[in-house]
């Protein structure tokens, strides 16, 4: 098979460009549509003016004229009452007098004060360094804490303890303050 030399051949001549249809030039302002819109607005204005100047038709007058006038009937005479009505009874409220002299006794349950104070634990760690870091974070919040070492089955634990608190409300207040500072979880128990 013989090879063709495409280089000598050169480029193919350019095809003439298609004649594209050009949009007809706009004639400017659309007078026809403006005239139609102006006529519609004028008709609407005339209709509103016509409705506002003419009085509303009376429907009652038409109905009365179409029906013949009814004959007036004599009014029935009221019958004489044989028994007069009894006088209106006076209402006497007894509860007003009863409540003025009544004494109400409410027995409020006595608050049960705990016999033991509360403590709050904010972490239990394997290493003393982690416990010291947590203690320092709590100290930055203005609270004092202590580290207790407890022996368990798996070794020693370093617990960060706050307290003792005489009331649980004070412990919960401190726990909420620590929670806002990002120190959690903290659990509240009775002091051991």
Report the residue count for the chain: 192
Please tell me whether the overall predicted TM-score, pTM, comes out greater than 0.85 for this model.
no
Q: Rounded to an integer, what distance in angstroms lies between the CA atom of residue 144 and that of residue 137? A: 10
> What residues have CB less than 8 Å from 190, skipping those under 6 apart?
114, 116, 117, 118, 119
Average per-residue pLDDT for the chain: 82
The least confident of 75-84, 85-94, 101-110, 139-148 is 75-84
Quick one: 120 exposed, middle or buried, by C-beta within 10 A (0-12, 13-18, 19+)? Answer: buried
Strand order in the sheet with 155-165: 146-152, 155-165, 118-125, 187-190
CB contact at 8 A, 163 and 186: no
8 vs 157, residue with greater confidence: 157
DSSP code string of 26-49: P-SS-HHHHHHHHHHHHHHHHHHH
* C-alpha atoms less than 13 angstroms from C-alpha of 132 in its C-beta half-sphere: 3
pLDDT of residue 177: 94
pLDDT at 42 > cutoff 60: yes
5-14, 103-112, 180-189: lowest mean pLDDT where? 5-14
In which band, very low, low, confident or very high, does the pLDDT at 65 lie, cut at 50, 70 and 90? Answer: low
- Among 26-30, 70-74, 177-181, top mean pLDDT goes to 177-181
Higher-confidence residue of 66 and 16: namely 16
pLDDT at 63 over 70: no
């Amino acid at each position: 098979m013989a090879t063709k030399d495409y280089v000598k051949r050169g480029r193919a001549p350019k095809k003439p460009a298609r004649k594209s249809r050009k949009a007809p030039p706009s004639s400017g302002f659309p007078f026809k549509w403006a005239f139609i819109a102006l006529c519609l607005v004028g008709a609407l204005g005339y209709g509103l003016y016509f409705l506002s100047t003419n009085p509303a038709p009376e429907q009652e007058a038409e109905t009365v004229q179409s029906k013949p006038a009814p004959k007036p009937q004599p009014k029935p005479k009221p019958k004489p009452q044989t028994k007069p009505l009894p006088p209106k009874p006076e209402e006497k409220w007894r509860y007003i007098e009863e409540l003025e002299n009544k004494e109400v006794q409410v027995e409020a349950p006595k608050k049960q004060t705990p016999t033991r104070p509360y403590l709050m634990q904010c972490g239990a760690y394997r290493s003393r360094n982690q416990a010291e870091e947590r203690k320092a974070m709590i100290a930055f919040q203005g609270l004092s804490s202590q580290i207790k070492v407890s022996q368990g089955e798996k070794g020693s634990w370093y617990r960060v303890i706050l307290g003792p608190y005489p009331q649980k409300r004070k412990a919960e207040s401190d726990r909420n303050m620590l929670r806002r500072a990002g120190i959690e979880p903290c659990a509240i128990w009775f002091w051991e």
